[in-house]
Amino acid sequence: MAVGGETVSFQAVRETNLGVVLRTVRALAPCSRSAVASATGLNKTTVSSLVADLMARGLVRETGETAQPRVGRPGVLLALDDTSVAAVGLEVNVDYLSVIAVDLLTRELLSEHIPFDARSAGAEACARRVAEALRRTLGRPALQERTVVGIGIAVPGLIDTETGTVTRAPNLDWSGVPLRERVLALLRAAGADDVPVHVDNDANLGALAEYRVGSFARTPDLVYVTGEVGIGAGVLSGGELLRGANGFAGEIGHVSVAPEGPECSCGRGGCLEALAGIEAIVRACVPDLVPAAALSGTDVAELVEATVERASSGDATAVSALETAGTWLGRGLAALVNITNPRRVVLGGYFVPLGPWLLPSCRTAAREGVFAPDTGGCGIELSDLGLSAAARGGAAAMIHALDAGRLPLPTPRTTATS
């Protein structure tokens, strides 16, 4: 077959059609083969062959006869097979690793939160800890009978997604780290089976998690804002990630909102991150508890907890500092809303426990800074995914890539019917 002057093999066409049928079953399930044929435009014989192939690969299963009366042989409904496949997501952050595995329906199979001072450890030690965590996860009983189709790793920084290289991550003090290559080498050295690994920005993957399974799932125009030491934004427009020319879109934390303000980790002055990032917040809220040395990842988690305790007790310093940070955050978000006009901005990470004191001033400042009336129809809300959003998004991204044909389908467990 020739397409656009190039010869396309029968197998390539078939693999494309397998992805089309898989996506259709996901969208319509429970559904009949006839419904899939109607939705895809493929003939019924082809659909039956493709469905048989997907069933052999553990991706689709039959659920039983349709309840609708019909002439002749009763139709059998199809659904995604949630028993055979898994995907894993892992987030690297300044003070922890988070690991999640999900099934084909992106339902959680297992999760683990690992306290780890990634900033102090350095890139090589962190890559080793990541590989160790993944190897342990792949060996867990919940995944033993499943095919793991991919691993998505989230990192707070600029990522070359083609190579899996962390171009720049100021809060981890990383530059030019070939994380994907290193993790794959470590997994192979440990005897783990080859599994596709993808590295992406934590905010991008957090946005995908919110779109798939968060409180505002299926909201096509949505922004997820990380609430960690750094501030990043994953922007969805029409249900697709806004990446930009080189994949570096969404770095709202390094927008200068007060040029004469405090120095940011990136070396510039007055970035939003330097005024409303979690490290800036805890330094202002609990100054007596902040050590003289640079904060470790463990310090950050403990200081956030102390900030919540003081704000809850009505401590004037903590409450005032949180209100001020909320105002800066709202001003930064106003610029983003003016440009992208999302339906929802979802605040994640440590912004969630601090939300009761951040949100009022944040919403007020955003409303005042957005040109369109009523904040452009955008609501600013808190995530319910906690510190697992980016890891969950990493796993969900692998399932999405499988649906879209960007990952190889599992090997058939039995010979498919042709």
Average pLDDT, the chain: 91
Query: Using 50, 70 and 90 to split pLDDT, how confident is the model at 1?
Result: very low
Q: What number is the average pLDDT over the span 345-360?
A: 96
Quick one: tokens of 171?
């809060």
The pTM for the full model equals 0.89
Q: What number is the average pLDDT over the span 298-323?
A: 95
Q: What number is the average pLDDT over the span 230-248?
A: 91
> Does residue 201 carry a pLDDT above 80?
yes
Query: Using 50, 70 and 90 to split pLDDT, how confident is the model at 5?
Result: very low
pLDDT at 33: 94
CA–CA separation, 256 and 332 (whole Å) = 9
pLDDT at 335: 94
Could you give all domains of the chain from N- to C-terminal order, each with its CATH number? 2-80 (1.10.10.10), 85-204+392-403 (3.30.420.40), 221-383 (3.30.420.40)
Tens of pLDDT, residue by residue over 145-191, are: 999 999 999 999 999 999 999 999 988 999 999 999 999 999 999 99
pLDDT at 189: 94
Most confident residue range from 74-78, 262-266, 359-363:
359-363
Query: Using 50, 70 and 90 to split pLDDT, how confident is the model at 416?
Result: very low
Query: Using 50, 70 and 90 to split pLDDT, how confident is the model at 414?
Result: low
CA–CA separation, 334 and 343 (whole Å) = 13
Q: What number is the average pLDDT over the span 349-364?
A: 97
> Does residue 368 carry a pLDDT above 50?
yes
Q: Which residue has the higher pLDDT, 406 or 315?
A: 315
pLDDT at 417: 43
Q: Which of 405, 404, 413, 402 is nearest to 102 (CA)?
A: 402
Q: Which residue has the higher pLDDT, 207 or 71?
A: 207
pLDDT at 131: 97
pLDDT at 70: 56
Percentage of the chain exceeding pLDDT 90: 77
Tens of pLDDT, residue by residue over 31-82, are: 999 999 999 999 999 999 999 999 999 999 999 766 555 555 556 899 999 9
Determine contact, residues 394/152, Cβ cutoff 8 Å.
yes
Q: Which residue has the higher pLDDT, 231 or 94?
A: 231
